[in-house]
Structure 1
Amino acid sequence: MLLACSIMSTYQAFQSGLSYLNQMFVSILDKSRHHNGKPINRKDVLNLGFIYRQHNILSYYILHDDKNTWSQSLYYYALISIPINITLLCELIVEDIPAQTEFVFIVIAVIHAITGVIPFMALAHVSRSFHKIRDHILPMQLQLKRNYLRTKLKYDDLYERLMHGKKIAFTFGYLGNLTYRGLFEAFLGYIAAFFLMMGFYMKEHSS
């Protein structure tokens, strides 16, 4: 529970900043489009420089702090919590337990699942927000004047890093990136582990 609360506070800290940067970027692009493709002015170019710097700073905190703080914690949390949840489900399905005990098991399993899934999905959403800006970089490049070459080069670099560089995301330690795709792959692993455990339970009861 403590880890889940820490994850949600981290999510709020990053997501609020990223949402602001993405909205500012899109508003600059939309303003230029609404003025019949009028080139972006000096003030907006300064704002683009601010967005670029802040995006890099937040990216650094994700990649650096993840390695030193979050990665192993999330790894061990997943490594411990998934078998516990699977065991609870197998006990509920296979074992003949009293109604009151069954209710307690159900409550524990539901709370355990919620406190695990929601924080992980929140961190996956942070990764998605980091990469959301790439969909608007190419249209923005078309709106920048030639004399803003430095800004164009910066966003060329950012686009390349977002498309082909290291994924900006938290990680499960050795299990991979904490993205929506990573969560889907983890879910498939959960299903496989569940059926494997169920096989052991069924074999034990049949013998």
Structure 2
Amino acid sequence: MTAHPPTAPCEVCGAETTTRCASCAQVGIDLFFCSRDCQKLVWRGHKLLCGSGGSAGPVKLPSVTDDEVDFARTHADAPPVPGCSVRRSIRRELESLAGQPFEYVLQNLSGSTDSTGELPNKPVIATHLRAIHYRMCRIGTAERPETPLLFLLMTHQQVLIYQQLVENRCVPPMISTHKWHDLLCHKLAIAVTLDQRIFLYDTLA
């Protein structure tokens, strides 16, 4: 008797399908798409992670560069959101996230986001800073970083969702190296890409 291939809902439309992303399947990540159209709809975000995870190594946030730390120091007193109250600043945002003085944060921020001994909240701080950088680039008050802007925005949104899962005790508070975490990151990338498309559609409608 011939075994039927596994089926699962399409990541985009929910239709039952047996078709998976071939590159991700090779590294043990099962993402189902019922058609090329559905896969192309989220490719802008999915391509940043496609084929990573599993045997290819865990999905990780990029290390914080010295240039990113310099950006935080140079723009310390700038508002984190264009047009927001001058009482808010990048300095205060990072201090609030870290629970530490600004200079302490900067001294311990560069390097791997896995190194959380001095800054337990380092992945969140890094992605928050990158989201601020993204917004400032969009309005022309900061130079574009080497990291693609879309990746900066997406990682920030993913961490916000991850925080909600942690607060509801659905996942552990520390980013895991287990395969389920890689799958979660892939699915978050797809969800964020769809969210951005819906936002853009509503904005232009």
Q: Same fold (TM over 0.5)?
A: no
Higher RCO (Cα < 8 Å, 6 or more apart): 1
Tell me which structure has the larger Cα radius of gyration.
1
More helix, by proportion:
1
